[in-house]
Each structure stands twice: as C-alpha cells, then as structure tokens.
Chain A
Amino acid sequence: METIISFVGEQFGLEGVLALSIAYAVCIGSLLGFITVYAMFAIWMERKVAAHIQVRYGPMETGAWHGWAQSVADAVKLLFKEDLIPRSANKVMFLAAPAVVFCGVFAGFIAIPFAAGVQIVDLDLGVFFIIGIAAIEVIGVIMAGWASNSKYSLFGAVREAAQVVSYEIPTAVALLVPILVVGSFRLGDFNAFQEEHGWLIFHNVWMPIAALCYFISSLAGCKRAPFDLPEAESELVSGFHTEYSGMRFSFFFLEEYASMFVAALLVSTLFFGGWTLPFLDVTSWPYGLAQGVGMAVLLVKTFFFIFVQMWLRWTLPRMRVDQVMGLGYKYLVPWGFAALVGTAVFEYYGWRFVPGVF
C-alpha cells in the first residue's frame, strides 16, 4: 500500500487523497482479480480432485487440456443467467446478502501477506482481524436464509449461524497457541519468527495439536465437509442458498472458496513456515526474486492444504448437527486450551518436546 502511494507520488506527482484513492483502487482491483482467478482455478481443481477420487475424469472437454476452461465457461454462464428473485422474498435483504457474505472474506484478504512486503496492510492485529472480519459472513448467511422465505434456506441459515459461531471459539483458541510463542498478532512477524527458529509446527509438542484443532475448526468455519451442514444437499436441498441462482449464487460460491484459501493460508503461515523454506534463505536475494519465490512457496503450501480440504470432503460422510457441536465443544475446545496452557508452561521453562530435557 505504502509502496504504491510512494510510487504514484514519485512517478505522477500525485499526493493526498488522490494518491490514496488510486492506491486503494489498485489494491482492491488486484485482490478481486486474484480471488476470481483463484476461485476459478480452485473450482476446477475441486472437480478434478473429486473426479479422480471417484474413479472418473471430471471436466475434459472445455478448453482442450483437461477441461481447464470449464470454470471460465461456468462463470460466463452464471453471469448471463436470468436474475431471479422469488416473489415472496424480502427483496432488499435478498439482494444484499451475497454482498455481505462476500465482504467478510474479501476484507480478510487485506491483511494477508503473500510474501515479504507483498501485502496491502500489515495490521498489528492481522490474525485477529482476519478471523474477526470473517464472522460478518454469518450475518449475510442469516440474511440470505431469512430473506429467501424458504424453509430449507432457514434451516441452513440457522445451522450455519450455530456452527460458525460455535467454531469460532476453538479457532481462536488454537490460533492463540502460535501467537503465544511468537508474541505478536502481526502476520509478518510469524514469517520472520519461523525464518529464524524453524517451522512452528515443530516448535513444541503442543503445536501439532493446535494445528489440527485449527484445521478442523477452519473446515467447520468454511462449511466444508464433513461439516457442510448448512448446505447439506441430501437433507436441505442446498441450504441457505437454495433460492439463489446466477450471479448471486456465484458470490456464495466465491465466498466458500475464498474462505478456504484464507483458512489454508493461515495454516501455512502460522504453523508451516509461511513463505519460508527450512533450507532456503531468500532474505539476501534481490527484491523481486525473493518475493516471487516466497509467494510461490506460500501458494504451494496453501494449495496443499486446500487439496487436503477437498480430499476430506470427497472421502468423509457428513456429521449430524449435534455431533458437530459435540466435536467442537467436547474435543476441540478442551484440546485447544490444553495446547494453549501446555505451550505457556513449556515456553516459560524453555522446554520443547520432553519436559525438563529439551
């Protein structure tokens, strides 16, 4: 952000509000572009992963090479679809819901560091901000479910609200563990810390537990199987977006994949070294190259975790509402707190794996 402002200032002599608004436009535009392209790729990837798990090929025709253009074609189709609003729907809320849902995740992208310096704003409370702003999505989903005036939508929305709000507790608790070690909420600091001390997942014996807790609760937060109750197809037809079609539906879709990305990226950044590699020190490399390599490393890690999310989705059955809640409150929250307290004790005494030894 600052880079762009200063660049605009130097090159075109612009200052103040004008420079700021240009910088905003560039940032938002590039982020939107990134999310769209990423979502298209992720949808294609999901279909391919699903297909190969299910002994079939998936899209093969559109765009010659393994159906790479299938998502593009789908997006175009969704854009051109008739804009349907159910007659008995609450129009204002119905129209606003997809935007609200998308906003939450989109705002989270602002604080995400893709590589050293490649970040819109390096917030002091980056982690906090991302998980906090993502909660806006729940409001949008409830709006969608209520405004659709469909019983299935309402069921989906209520399930979503209960699930996502409950799972914010284990998410936050599990994230506090690496935060405790690094001593900062700033996402950039995690990368710097791991560059120096190695990946946090190997930091102490509690870290894998915290990582697992976070990953599972992030699945629930993204409404991914086995926690896809809000849109449980065999029960609720399509859940809260049953009545949506065309462009508005695609916003819900976009949101789902964008939040998958955020979740996977947080796992890679907080536990798996972010843009750092254990045996590769890029800090001394020239400015552009280090950033490029760092970004590539981070994206590879992120996509690995996205792949794991897809893998789980196409392998596991869906859980029941009470079982999902039970898992959250009976297993993830206690284990998250155990990891938190354990890490605190271990950090205090300087232990890592075996208490009292090393």
Chain B
Amino acid sequence: MYAVEEKNDVFTEELKLNLGPQHPSTHGVLRVELKMDGEIITASRCDIGYLHRCAEKIGENVTYLQFTPYTDRMDYLASMNNNLAWSLAVEKLIDVEAPERAQWIRVIVAELNRIASHLIAFGTYGIDIGANTPFFYAFRERESIMALLERPSGARMLYNYIRPGGVGHDVDDQWLADVLAFCDEFERRWKEYNTLLTNSHIFIKRTANIGVIPKDVALAYGCTGPVLRGSGVKWDLRRDVPYLKPYDELEFDVPVGEGTHGSLGDCWDRYWVRMREMMESIRIIRQACPRVPDGPFMDKKTSGMYKTPLKPKPGEAYVRCENPRGELGFYVVSEGGTSPIRCRTRAPSFCNLAVLDVLLPGTMIADGVAIIGSLDIVLGEVDR
C-alpha cells in the first residue's frame, strides 16, 4: 500500500516478543514466542520444557509406592487429585479396591484440593486482568484448606496422602466437623468474589468474547476439564465415569459454559465454570462428610505389601480422573518387576495448552494474557 523508498531508513517490521519464561503472567516457566503487529499478535509459538524433570522416566526407575510423591509435583496445586489417579492406577494393576472409608475420605480431600486449585486459578486470573485484590481473598481461603489438609497428611502442598490401597492416615470426627464449618464460611466468601471480580463491568469487558474456543475445536484438541466445559460440553468423569464409588451416590451438577456475556466458550465462560465448580465441590463435601463410614482406612493386603516393594502381575492399567484442570490419566505397564516398565501421564494442562496457538493470533497482547490465564495451566504438569 505504502511504497517505502529504499533510501529511507524508516521502515516497519514485525516485532518478535518473547513472553516468558520469566514473565509475571505466564504462570510458571512457559515461553511464548509472539509475532506482534503493534499491539496485535499475528503468530505465536509455545515453547515448553523449562520445568521438565523426567517424571515419567523416574516412574520407571522407582517402585510403585515411591512414585506417589512424584505425582505430587506434577500438578502441584492439586496434589491430592494426582495421588488419587496414581493410586487408582496401581490399585487396578494389583486388583485391589480401597476400603469404603478410604474412598469417602478420598472424595473429601480431592474436592477440597479442587477448591484450593480453582482458588488459585481465580486469584491469578484476577492479577492477569489487572485486579490484584482478589488474589489475597483467594489465598485467605486457600490457607484454610491447606490447614485442613495438613491435619491428616502432615503437609501443606505436596501431600502424598492418598496411596495405593487407601489413604495414608485416618481422619477424626473433629476434622470432618471443621471441614463442614469451612464449607459454611466458604459460601459466604464466594459471594464476595463475585461482587469483587465476576460481576465487575471491566472484568466482563476484558474476558467476554475473548479467546473463544468453539465446541469442535475444544474436542479436536483434546481439551478437558473447565476448558472443555466452558465450551458447552457436559463431560465430567466424576459423573460420566465414576472412578470412586461415592461419586455415583452423590448429587452434584456439572456446570457448563452458557455464553452469558458473549460467545460460548470465551474466557468468561471458562472462568465462571471454575467458580461454579467450587460451589459444586462444596456441595459434594457437604454430602460426603456425614456419610464417611467406620472401618479401616487402608487395605490390609496392600499395606502388608508395603514392607517389600509391590510386584504386580504382568499387565497394564489406564486410569483417568477428573482433576481440577481436566482429565489426568496414568498408564502403567508392569512386567512383574518392582517398578513399571512404562509409566505414562496424560496431563490435562499439556493438552489444554495446545489450543493456545489457535487462540492467540489476531488478539491483542492484553487478551493474550487473559487467554493464557483462562486455560489455567500448571507448568509442572505440562513439562512433567
């Protein structure tokens, strides 16, 4: 359109912007190479692997039990759920089932951890959009959850609590009562979050119609969890493939995006799915706490096997669980030895991140940050 004379040294060119790996809003060590035309992103390329710790390879070199703490460090914001998926995979391999009491405790701690994880997603998303205050509110409640989870497990973030065969330690009635008390408090706080951020006009303007993932794209890229449900697909493993018995008996809804403020599958929908999932988790915990039965919290046969390394029969197992971020799957192959010969993880963040390169081109840099935040990735899990 404009012919630039060759002699003239004033010219325009694409600006290559390196977003990350050290950047306030890439949620860890994600690096995104952006090509910018002014404020508008024209092309993007994700560069991952900065947090690669060979978790899967380690899994092939340690015993089945020893790998549980490593799963903690994958999605470090939802360690309970990771433990759960791994334990279920090992249990499937050795063909045992956790006792009834352990199953109910697992549901409670996993849902508590889901709330904690979504709280981080909510708080950091606020920061991505430029509102710093919600973060502190979210961390206040997360602190209570961590204190609650610390009591049975002894750790605040990396619990190693759910183990093949049951759970690590028993919980007492006082703990269950405190969990219920937390539920009451949290419901009040949740309303505060909505007045502060969800219904803020600027926030809606910043997130509605941004980063729209249509249903077919979400399915094609293997998105799961809130990212998939934000696009209107009602798919939740807890409801559709109950991997723990209690989920069959409990009543809860699966929130999906409705395109409230714009197109279906935009950032706001994903955000709102997460917010409502917190309340669904509260509902689950409310029902589960009074129903925790008496009995052993650990399968006798399995805990007996703890003294010597587990040696499952040759075979393979694949178990998938609904993590806060989506479907977490563990594929374990045993050849009869003390450690698996293949230990593969299907990480939800990794699959959700793939859709980023489709979403970014054509948006502004501020929207790019909003989109990365709305996918809610944990780099520990992406890179493993």
Contacts and interface: CB of A to CB of B under 8 A. Distances in A.
Given A155-B365, A226-B130, A317 B136 contact: no
B277 interface: no
Interface in B360-375: 364-367, 369
Interface stretch (A52-60, A65-73, A189-197): A52-60
Contact of A235 (B15, B126, B132, B365): B365
A322 B369 CA distance: 15
Contact of A54 (B18, B129, B132): B132
B133 A234 contact: no
B130 A228 contact: yes
Nearest to B127: A234
Contacts, number: 80
B136 A55 contact: yes
A155 B369 CA distance: 15
B269 interface: no
B215 to A, nearest CB: 26
A54 B133 contact: yes
B128 A234 contact: yes
Contact of B200 (A53, A317, A322): A317
Interface in A214-228: 225-226, 228
A330 B11 CA distance: 32
A228 B130 CA distance: 9
A237 interface: yes
* Residues of B in contact with A, size category: 20 to 34
A235 B366 contact: yes
**Dominant secondary structure of chain B at its interface with chain A:** helix
B197 interface: yes
A55 B200 contact: no
Interface string B24-40: 11000000000000010
Interface in A146-164: 151, 155, 159
B364 A317 contact: no
Contact of A316 (B18, B39, B131): B131
A56 B137 CA distance: 10
Contacts of B137: 54-55
B366 A320 contact: yes
A226 B135 CA distance: 17
A222 to B, nearest CB: 16
* Residues of A in contact with B, size category: 20 to 34
B245 interface: no
B15, B129, B206, B366 pick with most chain A CB within 10 angstroms: B366
A53 B197 CA distance: 14
Given A151-B15, A233-B24, A319 B136 contact: no
A315 B205 contact: no
A254 interface: no
A194 B77 CA distance: 59
Nearest to B363: A320
Given A151-B15, A235-B369, A319-B205, 11 more contacts: A55-B137, A55-B140, A233-B24, A233-B130, A234-B369, A314-B132, A316-B130, A318-B202, A319-B202, A320-B206, A323-B206
Interface of B: 15, 17-18, 23-25, 39, 126-133, 135-137, 140, 196-197, 200, 202-203, 205-206, 364-367, 369
Give the 4 A-B residue pairs with the shortest CB-CB distance, closest first: A318-B130, A54-B136, A317-B131, A234-B25
12 contacts: A54-B132, A155-B39, A234-B127, A234-B129, A235-B365, A237-B24, A317-B131, A317-B203, A318-B202, A318-B206, A320-B364, A323-B205
Interface of A: 50, 53-56, 151, 155, 159, 225-226, 228-229, 232-237, 314-323
